[in-house]
Amino acid sequence: MNSQYSIAVHILTLLDSSSGPMGSAEIAASVGVNPVVIRTVTGLLRKAGLLTTQRGVAGAQLTRRADQISLLDVYRAAQAPDSVLKVHQHPNLACPVGAGIQRALDEVYGQAQAALESRLAEVTLSDITRAVHQPAS
């Protein structure tokens, strides 16, 4: 999985923590990436209905309360892959292991993906914002 998901969570947490709309340069400074990356990811988040921006006006803001946005919403918005774990595409079907490896791993990987998505559905953006602002121990 690429880093777009983590960047998306960072952007939304930053917006939840801010007192008003934030521009891509300001967000990029916090995330530590080029503003072009921020604009790409905010485009995905906007398309998913998680944030709003206005052409010609600097600033992005959440479209709903942070406690109504799950990490699964963000995962899907960031166009995460259907499955984090992928089976290699061209095993040797003449080999007994090659012939059965995809079938054997598909079930395990499917279960792992379901567990990941279930956990992400349980955590909201407000949970992340709260955790970010807790003092380090």
Is-contact 80 5, C-beta < 8 A? yes
CATH code of the domain in which 103 resides: 1.10.10.10
Task: Quote the number of domains for the chain.
Answer: 1
- Split at pLDDT 50, 70, 90, the class of 28 is very high
- Split at pLDDT 50, 70, 90, the class of 81 is low
Q: Compute the residue count for the chain.
A: 137
pLDDT of residue 41: 95
In a domain? residue 13? yes
Mean pLDDT of 7-15: 96
In a domain? residue 58? yes
Is-contact 25 15, C-beta < 8 A? no
- Split at pLDDT 50, 70, 90, the class of 23 is confident
As a whole number, the mean pLDDT across the chain is: 91
Mean pLDDT of 82-91: 80
pLDDT of residue 49: 96
Query: Could you give the C-alpha distances from 93 to 48, 58, 98, in angstroms and in order?
Result: 40, 55, 5
Weakest mean pLDDT among 7-16, 73-82, 126-135: 73-82
In a domain? residue 31? yes
In a domain? residue 137? no
Mean pLDDT of 2-27: 91
CA separation for the pair 137, 131 (Å, rounded): 12
In a domain? residue 109? yes
In a domain? residue 105? yes
pLDDT of residue 89: 85
pLDDT of residue 58: 75
pLDDT digits (tens, 9 = 90+) for 42-67: 999 999 999 998 777 778 889 999 99
- Full domain range(s) for residue 103: 4-132
Residue 1 predicted with pLDDT over 60: no
Is-contact 8 77, C-beta < 8 A? yes
